[in-house]
Amino acid sequence: MNETHYELRRQKLLNALEEGVVILASASPKTRSNDTQYPYRQNSDFYYLCGFGEDNALLILVKTKEITKSILFIEPYNEEHALWNGARLGVEKAKERFCVDEVHDIHEYPTLIKDILRDHVALYIDLFDESSWIRQAKKSAKELHETRGVKRHIRAIYDATHLIRSQRLIKSQEEIAQIKKAIELTAIAHHEAMKSSKAGLYEYELQAKMSYVFLSKGAQAESYEAIVAGGNNANTLHYIDNREVLREGDLVLIDAACEWELYASDITRTFPVNGKFSEVQRYVYEKVLEVQLKVIDAIKPGVKRDWLQHYSEELLCQALIDLEILSGVRSELLESKAHKKYAPHGIGHWMGLDVHDPCPYVDDEGESLCFAPGMVMTIEPGIYIRADDATVEEKYRGIGIRIEDDILITQTGCENLSSAIAKSVEEIEAMCKSYVL
């Protein structure tokens, strides 16, 4: 992403404020075990506004009636750190690279923050950030408050994340390009899994095939823990054990995808372990697919997200009636939420820098947001019938199906960004068949 993009985003955020100081911290490294750590993942809001990837960094934006200013605080270059963990960019290089007004050594923050806050009345932070940086800012604000002769001091602390995440809702062309790149690799990985699948393999073997694609194609991370769920395991929504053997005659549900430059993809496909749908599996699969296609078809600017959720529930409920899994009057079944037993989760979520992008779903009045060009949402209907559900015909038991694509809202409707991934029964069976020994 070009430097000017970050500059424009910061400007847009500052335009939304009358005046004040915004402080955002980088993500903290997380310990995995003793002195080893999880791979570092930058905080999405922080990254969105400056594109800086290191930890121990702060971005501060300042707005007065006269000026706006952006300041980065970062770790200086350190030989010891360079030896053990890799070279940090350092203050001088960061000044050249980033279009911010000032770059400082993070160790100067405790002394400089008081001057930065002086004469300001509003502070914008992530209200749930309990880092020492934010504590320091509050401490300095308090000291200013108690200093004689200081007339203006911080009178209110606001949530900065809501403003940033409202901005993140609409993706730029450059962001969409990153998402498309992530989906491109995810498509290869899903096809690889379809081609490799056979009875007797373990779930983790398909996962490994996909991880190999992600790593070997240069993806920095997977967007989330992969779900590779054979047979009845698909009925555990967040099944990530992936330790069981794939059985002849079962379906396998794979919800796995990679990130590109921190932008997520999120894709689910369900296909037969042996490459051929049974009659019953095909029947249920095509019901779920029909729901998914109808929901995608209904997406266009102006449509409310709540309405889409309700519409998808109507369709899923009808599918369950058609399958004779539910019986009764549809409106009554919907009213009593009977369909939720077999279709418990929502139709989809925003996707972007976070796989579940924390952008708002409602406006300031609490009304559901309308779709607008540039939004990206997953559409992922599913029907899940547990193996031990004696209330359902035996032939259906143990079947769990979800189909998930990533949808971009456009000026006139929407674009399925993951339409290249095999999805119809015919496409999937053809892909599975292309297995080479």
DSSP state of 73: E
Record the tokens describing residue 338, joined without a space: 């009977």
Rule CB under 5 A: say whether 197 interacts with Mn ion. no
Nearer to Mn ion, 10 or 402 (CB): 402
**375 neighbors 171 (Cβ within 8 angstroms):** yes
Q: Which C-beta is closer to Mn ion: that of 189 or that of 326? A: 189
| Residues binding Mn ion: number (CB under 5 A) | 2
Pairwise CA distance, residues 66 & 116, whole Å = 15
Task: Please report how close the Cβ of residue 219 comes to Mn ion at its closest, in angstroms.
Answer: 17
Q: Which is nearer to Mn ion, 259 or 266 (CB)?
A: 266
For Mn ion, give the closer residue by CB, 131 or 236. 236
Report, in Å, the least distance between residue 297 CB and Mn ion.
19
Active centre residues (catalytic) = 35, 238, 255, 266, 345, 349, 356, 380, 384, 402, 404
Is the Cβ of residue 206 or residue 227 nearer to Mn ion in the bound state? Answer: 227
**Residue 380 CB, nearest approach to Mn ion (Å):** 5
Strand order in the sheet with 376-379: 376-379, 405-409, 414-416
Cβ nearer to Mn ion, comparing 312 with 378 = 378
Between the alpha carbon of residue 238 and those of residues 253, 280, 334, 384, the distances in Å are 11, 24, 25, 13
Q: Of 54-62, 207-215, 366-374, 378-386, which segment contacts Mn ion by CB under 5 A?
A: 378-386
Which residue from 55, 175, 259, 266 is in contact with Mn ion, where contact means CB under 5 A?
266
* Part of the chain binding Mn ion (CB under 5 A), chosen from 104-112, 286-294, 320-328, 375-383: 375-383
CA dihedral for 139, 55, 25, 14, sign (positive or negative)? positive
Least gap, CB of 186 to Mn ion (angstroms): 12
| C-beta atoms surrounding 272 within 10 Å | 23
Helix residue ranges, H only, 16-146: 44-50, 79-84, 91-97, 109-117, 132-145
Reduced to 3 states (helix: H, G, I; strand: E, B; else coil), residue 132 is helix
Residue 144 or 295 having the CB closest to Mn ion: 295
- Give CA angle at 388 (382, 393), nearest 5°: 75
- Residue among 16, 19, 124, 48 at smallest CA distance from 364: 16
Taking the C-alpha atoms of residue 177 and residue 188, their distance in angstroms, rounded to an integer, is 17
Q: How far is the CB of 394 from Mn ion (least distance, A)?
A: 30
Provide Rg for the chain, Cα atoms: 25
Cα-based torsion angle of the residue sequence 70, 75, 77, 83 in order, rounded to the nearest 10 degrees = -150
Token digits of residue 152: 């203006």
Residue span 325-364 as binding mask against Mn ion, x where in contact by CB under 5 A, dash where not = ----------------------------------------
Instruction: Determine the distance from the C-alpha atom of residue 25 to the mean position of all C-alpha atoms in its chain, rounded to a whole number.
Output: 20
Candidate ranges 42-50, 86-94, 258-266, 338-346; the one touching Mn ion (CB under 5 A):
258-266
Please spell the DSSP secondary structure of 80-107, one letter per residue: HHHHHT-----HHHHHHHS--SEEEEGG
Min CB(355)–Mn ion separation in Å: 7
Closer residue to Mn ion (CB): 265 or 274: 265
Q: How far is the CB of 316 from Mn ion (least distance, A)?
A: 16
Min. distance of Cβ 404 from Mn ion in angstroms? 5
Contact string 224-253 vs Mn ion (x = CB under 5 A): ------------------------------
Q: Could you give the C-alpha distances from 67 to 60, 70, 72, 110, 121, in angstroms and in order? A: 14, 10, 17, 23, 15
Q: Among 17-25, 36-44, 262-270, 423-431, which window interacts with Mn ion (CB under 5 A)?
A: 262-270
Q: Answer yes or no whether residue 378 interacts with Mn ion by CB under 5 A.
A: yes
* C-beta closer to Mn ion: residue 175 or 266: 266
Question: What's phi and psi for 232, nearest 5 deg?
Answer: -65, -20
The one segment of 48-56, 203-211, 334-342, 377-385 that binds Mn ion by CB under 5 A:
377-385
Q: Smallest gap, in angstroms, from Cβ of residue 169 to Mn ion?
A: 17
What distance lies between CA 196 and its chain's CA centroid? 27
Of 52-60, 97-105, 156-164, 376-384, the window that binds Mn ion (rule: CB under 5 A) is: 376-384
d(CA 142, CA 165): 28
Residue written as token pair 């095509």: 286
Q: Would strands 382-384 and 122-125 be described as parallel, antiparallel, or unpaired?
A: unpaired
- Binding residues (CB under 5 A) for Mn ion: these are 266, 378
